[in-house]
Amino acid sequence: MAHGSRVCRGCGRLNSADDKACYNCGKSLPGPMTSSALGWLADFSADGLPATKAIAGLCILVYGLMMAVDASYGVGPGQVIWGFETSTFIRFGSLLGPPFIQEEPWRVLSAVFLHGNLLHIGMNMLSLVNLGRTLEPHFRTGRFLLLYLLCGALGFCTTVWWRGEFARSVGASGAIFGLLGAFIGALIVRRNPGWQNVFFSNLIMALVLAFAFKNVDNAAHAGGFVAGLVLGILLELERQPRRRDRLVAVLAGLGALAAVAGIVLSARSPIWKQVRMLEMHASERDDR
């Protein structure tokens, strides 16, 4: 979800969307034009956001592979706009409820890189880039990537706890809500009153999404947000963080490898093959 937050180019401090001047150094902040679509597109293509670009790249790659798999099943491009076959979701690592999640726990991480349709991935990638261009330079790449992975996984753990056997879900929005929570946490620690505007504007947007779209995973949103808020406060209070940069980078790298491994392991799972057989039998009955 977009929030329009900005970093002061003079001192590097976080400021909320409504601030016209940096609360720390008083320097004027960029206006709406530089925060437009062209602005974030320019930032995204520039150096300095490796984690944001890697996350978006993996999400887009997985989405393209899912399209290719469904196309091999004879699903037309028009159908893919509205969603994939259930077996395709499971094959690439979608979240599943008990008892499957006990056997394949990596799905709480792999599902963070899957999306249901073009609107889903489009909205999430816009929000990711908007948050990434603010938070990755602030927290630095390793911590930003670790935030994304932890919030996404903890958000889906919340889904499993809340929905039980009906916990079937995909998407980066739990992780993105976590990044939003981390942003608000950082503003709170810095005693920037703009956190209230950021919180309430995005809360309203979350409620609109919850009522406007079916199958919105509000449990993952809430779990990711709370995890991000706590982690954001802890990171902002961290003393001499540069001493732990290497350790955090290693942990983030291991987390990223675990996510990719989860996608690969899901492709080797017998669950999606069983579901695919059921889909084929259903399709044959419909043809008859």
Question: Tens of pLDDT along the chain (288 residues)?
Answer: 444 566 676 666 777 666 777 777 777 776 554 544 445 455 544 556 899 999 999 999 999 999 999 887 766 555 555 678 899 999 999 999 999 999 999 999 999 999 998 988 998 998 899 889 889 998 999 999 999 999 999 999 999 999 998 899 999 999 999 999 999 998 889 888 777 777 777 667 666 666 666 778 889 999 999 999 999 999 999 888 888 889 999 999 999 999 999 999 999 999 999 999 998 888 777 666
CA distances from 123 to 2, 56, 171, 268 (A): 9, 12, 11, 30
State residue 196's pLDDT score: 75
For the CA atoms of 251, 225, 83, 104, what is the dihedral angle to 10 degrees? Answer: 50
CA distances from 261 to 64, 97, 115, 256 (A): 18, 20, 18, 9
User: By C-alpha distance, which of 90, 96, 97 is closest to 70?
Assistant: 90
Q: What is the C-alpha end-to-end distance of the chain, expressed in Å?
A: 45
Is 92 in contact with 268 (CB distance < 8 Å)?
no
Is the peptide bond preceding residue 270 cis, with omega within 30 degrees of 0? no
By annotation, the residues acting in catalysis are 173, 221
What pTM was computed for the model?
0.80
Calpha distance 114→241 (Å, rounded): 32
